[in-house]
Each structure stands twice: as structure tokens, then as C-alpha cells.
């Protein structure tokens, strides 16, 4: 009996020692963050010294890309390690309703199964499932919003027609005292914040006397958790996720960040007039056959034209928006700095992996587009920095095209976790590849993954067919895009980094085009025996489908009307389809 007790004690000690020796992980993900970050070349005036500090302590991936450039499905793919074409998750249906995903372990669930404590805060997965985490701080909060006692409104400094877009996408400006300000109807304005289920008023008396923003609260929560765990020998290793909302719209942050970027000094992106003319994104965002309403509006085109129409010139319009974006990025950088300070001034510094990234990028007017959800560089490219003490080269830089799908297998490799992440045979193994070799040798590491980063596109559908969706491949020197209708774009990015010249119609590049066609076909067809129906899809009769289509279109039009009351040109309180089409045509004329 004594021998058994000694054996158990020795085994427990060995397990505790092994657990304590495994690295901690902090995954920081920003929302809608493009390459407007120091070291990524997106904007020369970007001020992100703390992200630069993180880059100096690890490896920067200059050609990292998302796997679908819109929040919900991108985060589902990142945290499950499964491509949309292998899960069916191309849209905004809750990720845990997909059979493949609910039978596969999320990153945090897998860490917990392997002896880690899991804790998170802020916006991580788009649809929060509380049981995936042991400890959770604050739920996603898109605020602050301007509030008139009944409705959330755009920032009072935003002109029409851009403000007509609404309180989220049509809003930007400094967080200032609203005392004495009223809505167009004369209602007094206050600040409002909180998760969708827990809204509260936010005090902003002055820059020094105000409540903390959501990102500041999440930064503080992360710092408090880190301090509580540092310096405890034999402690359980942890996996921490920190999700910052900014620079997602509304681009509202404390005024001091706007003051860092004087409006008249804002540098503008290089935009080629007429660059949209040889592209085909608009050709797949039209009216679905047999339906009265749109399948998916071209949000980026509409935002761009609405912004330009709100100011005296395109340059003036972009300066206002870019100022707000740069200010929002700088505000997040401060919070990242607080996390770095908490780690670097503690005993866990040399045993904590830190990863910084975003769910996708954001276009800044290139190709007349101001949004995410495109297959061009501005939308698919994300910052990716990995600090892995003892593994990652300090100040390393890799230009190998990689994607968010590679983060999960990289952490499995670095932390010595089980490679089996499926809960059952209905799940799917990890699709990505470990970045370890590139962390060890960023320039010459042997990359075992594909030569191109694969990105899909979200377009609203009742059912997705992976073989018939929209995709892009980003290789070192090329970008290839194939839309669902068969139209293609091909860019030689080595000499055309802005993707200005579509070479798909040039016979001199026929062989190159065919190589990418075959690569895409082989990668998408590798999805196995096929996908089960996605959660919202139920086979119905043709008549029922037609009825559903009309009902869905009407519901969509009603939602559109709430955001764009100006579309009701005859002021009868209803939005007809002719009115909708006329209003939308101003911002997004159809392209044949």
C-alpha cells in the first residue's frame, strides 16, 4: 500500500512538473485590423509602438491572410482550425450548429482537454458559447454608441448620407462630452455601451473623467488575470484569449487618439482611378434568380460612395475616415502594451507565447470599396506576430503566404498537445500546418504547407456548395480569384502590389492561370465525402422555397429600410422594391 501511495505521489509530482513546464498562451485578436500597423507597410503614419515591441521579440508574418474576410465564419475557422469548405460555415449561422464544427474541438476546448486553464474576454468567436471557456470576463461590446433614450445613433459629427447607414457602420468620431447635444428630433444624447444583452449608459464628463471603454475594460481584465497567475510555482498553464473590438466600427475612441492624427496631415492611400473596371466582385452580388430582393448587397461599394457623397471630395472623405481608423488602431495598441508590460515584468515572460492577429482586413477606398468581405489584398491580409520564447527568432520576418488556419496547429506543436482534435468521426482534423519551422528560421525554414493562402468569400445564401463558392489564392508573387459565376482575376503582385491590372484575359498568362485553377480545384475537392446540410437548410418543395425566398427578401428589405429611411422617396412610411433599387443604384450600379 505504501509503494502504491509513493507511486501516486511521484506520478502526481511528475504531472505537475510537466504541466508547469508547458508554455502559457495569450492570443490577442483585433477586429477589422488591416495592415495599418507599423512594420506592415499599410500606412506610414500608423502609431503602434507596442505592436512593434512585440514584433521585435518574435516573428512577423508579412503575408498572412484570413480564410474568409468577414467576422463570423472567419473566427469559426480560426478557432476550430477548419476551412469553410470543409465545415460548410461560410455565413453567420451559429458555428456550433454545423455538424462538422460541433464534433470538432475548438482551440480553447482542446487546451482545456490537455490540462490548461482557459480564460477569455471580449470578442473572440462571433457567436459566444460560454461552456467553451473555464473563465470568461466581458462579452463582446461594440460600443460606445450615441443614444437618444430610445435608439442608437451615429456620432453627431458624421454627415449624411453616410450617417444614414446606421449607428455601427455609419459612425466615427471622438469620444467627447455630449452635454447639450441633441438628436435631429431634439432628444438629449448620451453615450451607451455594453453587450447586446446588457446595455448601460456611459459617463463621459471629460477626457479624464469618464468610464472605461470596452477595450480598456478588456485590457484591464487581462492584466489582472496575468498578475494573479504570475509567480505561482507549479501552477496550471493557461490559454488566454483577448478580443479587442477596435478598429471595428463605430470608430469611436477617446479624443486623445484623434489628436495624434491631425486631419489636414492625413496621408491618403494610393488609389488608381477606374481600378474597379477590370474586376468582377460586383457581378456576384446581384438579385437572385426568382426572388424580388437582393442576395447580398455590395456593402463596401455602398459605404465608399456614401462616404464620398458626404464630403466635398473623395480625398476629404477618406481623410476623415482614415483619421478615425488610425485613432482606433492606436487605442488598441495601448491596450496591447498593457498586456505586454504585465507579461514582461513578471516571472512568466520566458514561458508565455503571445500571438497577435485580426479576423480579416479592411479596404480603404481601393477599387471604390470601403469594407471587408472582398477577395483583394486589403481585405484578406491580416497582421500576424508570434512571440514564442526559445523557438521564434527575435526580430524575424517571413514573407511566406500563410493564413489564420495555421495558428491552431502551430499552438498544438509548440505546446505539445495531442494532434487529435475531433470529438467524433463526424468532426474534421485540423486543416492548417505548424509555423514552427518559419518561427525558427523565418527566411529559409522548410514550410510543409501549401504555397498559397486560401480565402473564401461570404455571400448570403440559403445553402452553400463548397465547389461553387468564391475563392482567392495568394501566392508569393500572385493573387488568383475565381468567382462563383466563373469570372476570374489574376494579379502579378511582385510588380503590381496594389493589384491594379487583372491579367486573366491576357493570353500570355494562360498557363499561369491554369496552374491556379488546378490548385484551387484540388484543394476544394479535397473536402472529402461531402458536407451534411448546414443548420438552417431544410429541403422543401419548389413552391415553399419560392414563398420562403419572397419572405426572406421582404425581411431583408425591411431591415434595409430601418438603416436607410431616406430610401423611402415618397415618404409613405414603406420601402417598395422600385424605391430600394433606385436608392441602391446610386451607390452600386449593376455591372454586367
Q: What is the DSSP string of 308-339?
A: HHTSSSHHHHHHHHHHHHHHHHHHHHHHHHHH
Nearest to 417 by CA among 118, 55, 73: 118
* Residue whose C-alpha cell reads 507579461 in the numeric block: 343
Per-residue pLDDT tens digits of the chain, which is 592 residues long: 555 544 434 334 334 444 557 999 999 999 999 999 999 999 999 999 999 999 999 999 999 999 999 999 999 999 999 999 999 999 999 999 999 999 999 999 999 999 999 999 999 999 988 889 999 999 999 999 999 999 999 999 999 999 999 999 999 999 999 999 999 889 999 999 998 888 999 999 999 999 999 999 999 999 999 999 987 777 899 999 999 999 999 999 999 999 999 999 999 999 999 999 999 998 997 544 333 434 345 899 999 999 999 999 999 999 999 999 999 999 999 999 999 999 999 999 999 999 999 999 999 999 999 999 999 999 999 999 999 999 999 999 999 999 999 999 999 999 999 999 999 999 999 999 999 999 999 999 999 999 999 999 999 888 899 999 999 999 999 999 999 999 999 999 999 999 999 999 999 999 999 999 999 999 998 554 456 655 654 444 444 444 444 555 666 677 667 667 778 777 777 788 777 777 776 655 544 4
- Peptide bond preceding 383 in cis form (omega within 30 of 0): no
Distance (Å) of CA 449 to CA 56, 207, 417, 524: 25, 48, 20, 15
Contact 490, 509 (CB under 8 A): yes
Can you identify the CATH homologous superfamily of domain 2-143+213-537?
Alkaline Phosphatase, subunit A (3.40.720.10)
Q: Compute the distance between CA of residue 490 and CA of residue 94 in angstroms, rounded to an integer.
A: 33
Contact 25, 343 (CB under 8 A): no
**β partners of residue 146:** 153, 191
User: Would the pTM count as exceeding 0.75?
Assistant: yes
Residues of the chain with CATH 3.40.720.10: 2-143+213-537
Q: Compute the distance between CA of residue 261 and CA of residue 257 in angstroms, rounded to an integer.
A: 7
- Peptide bond preceding 247 in cis form (omega within 30 of 0): yes
Q: Compute the distance between CA of residue 345 and CA of residue 3 in angstroms, rounded to an integer.
A: 43
Q: Compute the distance between CA of residue 243 and CA of residue 368 in angstroms, rounded to an integer.
A: 29
Helical axes 299-309 vs 314-344, angle rounded to 10°: 120
DSSP state of 253: E
DSSP state of 503: -
CB neighbours of residue 344 within 10 Å: 14
Q: Compute the distance between CA of residue 7 and CA of residue 14 in angstroms, rounded to an integer.
A: 10
Amino acid at each position: 500500500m505504501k509503494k502504491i501511495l509513493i507511486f501516486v505521489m511521484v506520478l502526481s509530482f511528475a504531472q505537475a512538473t510537466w504541466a508547469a513546464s508547458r508554455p502559457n498562451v495569450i492570443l490577442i485578436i483585433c477586429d477589422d485590423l488591416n495592415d495599418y500597423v507599423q512594420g506592415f507597410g499599410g500606412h506610414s503614419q500608423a502609431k503602434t509602438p507596442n505592436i512593434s515591441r512585440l514584433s521585435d521579440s518574435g516573428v512577423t508574418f508579412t503575408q498572412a491572410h484570413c480564410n474568409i474576410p468577414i467576422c463570423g465564419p472567419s473566427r469559426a475557422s480560426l478557432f476550430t482550425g477548419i476551412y469553410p469548405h470543409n465545415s460548410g460555415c461560410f455565413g453567420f449561422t451559429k458555428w456550433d450548429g454545423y455538424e462538422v464544427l460541433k464534433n470538432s474541438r475548438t482551440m480553447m476546448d482542446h487546451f482545456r482537454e490537455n490540462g490548461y486553464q482557459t480564460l477569455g474576454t471580449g470578442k473572440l468567436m462571433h457567436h459566444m458559447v460560454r461552456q467553451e471557456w473555464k473563465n470568461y470576463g466581458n462579452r463582446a461590446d461594440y460600443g460606445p454608441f450615441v443614444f437618444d433614450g430610445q435608439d442608437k445613433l451615429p456620432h453627431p459629427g458624421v454627415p449624411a448620407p453616410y450617417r444614414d447607414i446606421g449607428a455601427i457602420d455609419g459612425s466615427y468620431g471622438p469620444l467627447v462630452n455630449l452635454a447639450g447635444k441633441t438628436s435631429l428630433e431634439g432628444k438629449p444624447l448620451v453615450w451607451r455601451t455594453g453587450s447586446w444583452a446588457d446595455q448601460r449608459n456611459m459617463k463621459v464628463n471629460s477626457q479624464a473623467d469618464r468610464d472605461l471603454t470596452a477595450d480598456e475594460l478588456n485590457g484591464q481584465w487581462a492584466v489582472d488575470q496575468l498578475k494573479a497567475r504570475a509567480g505561482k510555482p507549479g501552477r496550471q498553464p493557461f490559454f488566454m484569449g483577448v478580443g479587442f473590438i477596435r478598429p471595428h466600427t463605430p470608430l469611436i475612441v477617446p479624443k486623445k487618439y484623434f489628436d495624434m492624427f491631425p486631419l489636414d496631415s492625413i496621408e491618403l492611400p494610393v488609389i488608381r482611378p477606374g481600378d474597379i473596371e477590370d474586376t468582377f466582385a460586383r457581378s456576384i452580388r446581384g438579385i437572385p434568380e426568382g426572388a424580388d430582393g437582393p442576395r447580398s448587397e455590395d456593402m463596401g461599394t455602398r459605404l465608399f460612395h456614401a462616404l464620398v457623397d458626404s464630403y466635398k471630395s473623395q480625398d476629404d472623405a477618406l481623410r476623415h475616415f482614415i483619421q478615425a481608423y488610425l485613432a482606433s488602431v492606436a487605442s488598441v495598441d495601448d491596450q496591447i502594451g498593457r498586456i505586454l508590460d504585465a507579461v514582461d515584468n513578471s516571472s512568466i515572460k520566458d514561458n508565455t507565447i503571445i500571438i497577435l492577429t485580426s479576423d480579416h482586413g479592411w479596404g480603404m477606398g481601393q477599387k471604390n470599396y470601403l469594407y471587408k468581405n472582398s477577395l483583394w489584398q486589403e481585405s484578406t491580409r491580416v497582421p500576424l506576430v508570434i512571440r514564442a520564447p526559445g523557438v521564434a527568432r527575435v526580430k524575424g520576418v517571413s514573407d511566406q503566404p500563410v493564413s489564420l488556419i495555421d495558428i491552431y496547429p502551430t499552438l498544438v506543436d509548440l505546446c505539445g498537445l495531442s494532434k487529435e482534435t475531433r470529438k467524433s468521426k463526424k468532426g474534421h482534423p485540423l486543416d492548417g500546418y505548424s509555423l514552427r519551422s518559419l518561427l525558427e528560421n523565418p527566411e529559409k525554414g522548410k514550410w510543409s504547407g501549401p504555397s498559397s493562402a486560401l480565402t473564401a468569400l461570404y455571400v448570403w445564401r440559403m445553402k452553400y456548395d463548397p465547389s461553387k463558392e468564391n475563392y482567392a489564392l495568394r501566392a508569393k508573387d500572385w493573387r488568383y480569384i475565381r468567382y462563383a459565376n466563373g469570372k476570374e482575376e489574376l494579379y502579378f503582385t511582385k510588380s503590381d502590389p496594389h493589384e491594379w491590372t487583372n491579367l486573366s484575359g491576357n493570353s500570355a498568362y494562360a498557363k499561369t492561370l491554369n496552374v491556379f485553377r488546378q490548385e484551387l480545384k484540388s484543394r476544394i475537392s479535397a473536402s472529402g465525402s461531402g458536407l451534411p446540410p448546414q443548420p438552417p437548410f431544410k429541403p422543401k418543395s419548389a413552391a415553399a422555397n419560392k414563398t420562403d425566398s419572397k419572405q426572406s427578401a421582404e425581411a431583408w428589405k425591411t431591415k434595409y429600410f430601418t438603416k436607410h429611411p431616406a430610401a423611402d422617396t415618397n415618404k409613405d412610411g414603406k420601402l417598395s422594391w422600385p424605391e430600394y433599387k433606385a436608392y441602391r443604384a446610386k451607390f452600386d450600379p449593376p455591372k454586367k
